[in-house]
């Protein structure tokens, strides 16, 4: 399982969950990779984009308005790093934390992981309108259809209780996915 706490620099609440995950022992029988931020420039500046913009490889297109998609697919070093990490590790499940919509996005494909994570964290499972061009989750779900990548949209204001629930939800889901009995019955 791969967990990314911050993609957009101004949506950093997921990092509070990743810090707790890093500090605790991983659940037995699991491989949990935790990336607190993929956008250190944006985080330092408190901006959505990195120093030049944010993009991702699937269905890339230029964006206008408040978001800049870069000069082309994988134009940004952060995007290339995430791309290489996912290609190298091929996680069974990736959770990308965002803000501020207060929900778990219901992606296309196998509904088990997003439904279960929604139950565990206590956020509603809702399909975000889209598609969002260049989305990391869309790319990953397209490239590795046997796995699952999902977006968890934390609310604007995040309580310590939600951070505890989010951390527990990641750990519980990782354990459940590693369970031989469960993995025989549910394919991602």
Mean pLDDT calculated for residue range 4-12:
93
Q: Is 90 exceeded by the pLDDT of residue 74? A: no
Residue 116 inside a domain? The answer is yes
CATH label of the domain that carries residue 43? 3.40.630.10
pLDDT for residue 172: 96
Within 13 A of 32's CA, how many CA atoms are on the CB side? 28
Residue 58 inside a domain? The answer is yes
Residue 184 inside a domain? The answer is no
pLDDT for residue 108: 75
Containing structural domain, residue 101: 2-178
Residue 112 inside a domain? The answer is yes
Residue 42 inside a domain? The answer is yes
Mean pLDDT calculated for residue range 113-121:
97
Residue 183 inside a domain? The answer is no
The residue ranking higher by pLDDT, 115 or 130, is 115
Query: Band of the pLDDT at 24, cuts 50, 70, 90?
Result: very high
Residue 187 inside a domain? The answer is no
The tens digit of pLDDT for each residue in 31-63 reads: 999 999 999 998 999 988 877 766 666 667 766
Supply 29's token pair.
């029988």
pLDDT for residue 65: 64
Mean pLDDT calculated for residue range 81-101:
95
Q: What is the pTM of this model?
A: 0.90
Residue 185 inside a domain? The answer is no
The tens digit of pLDDT for each residue in 123-170 reads: 999 998 766 666 788 888 888 988 899 999 999 999 999 999 999 999
Domain count for the chain: 1
The residue ranking higher by pLDDT, 143 or 5, is 5
pLDDT for residue 130: 66
């Amino acid at each position: 399982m791969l967990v990314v706490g911050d993609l957009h620099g101004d949506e950093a609440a997921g990092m509070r969950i990743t810090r707790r995950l890093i500090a605790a022992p991983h659940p037995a029988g699991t491989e949990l990779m935790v990336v607190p931020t993929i956008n250190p420039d944006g985080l330092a500046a408190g901006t959505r984009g990195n120093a030049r913009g944010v993009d991702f490889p699937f269905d890339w297109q230029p964006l206008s308005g408040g978001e800049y998609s870069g000069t082309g697919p994988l134009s940004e070093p952060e995007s290339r790093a995430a791309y290489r990490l996912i290609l190298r590790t091929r996680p069974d499940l990736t959770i990308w934390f965002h803000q501020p919509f207060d929900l778990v996005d219901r992606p296309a494909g196998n509904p088990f992981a997003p439904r279960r994570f929604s139950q565990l964290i206590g956020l509603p499972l809702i399909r975000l309108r889209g598609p969002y061009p260049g989305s990391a989750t869309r790319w990953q779900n397209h490239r590795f259809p046997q796995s699952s990548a999902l977006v968890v949209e934390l609310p604007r204001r995040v309580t310590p209780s939600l951070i505890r629930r989010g951390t527990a939800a990641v750990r519980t889901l990782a354990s459940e996915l590693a369970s031989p009995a469960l993995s025989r019955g549910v394919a991602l």
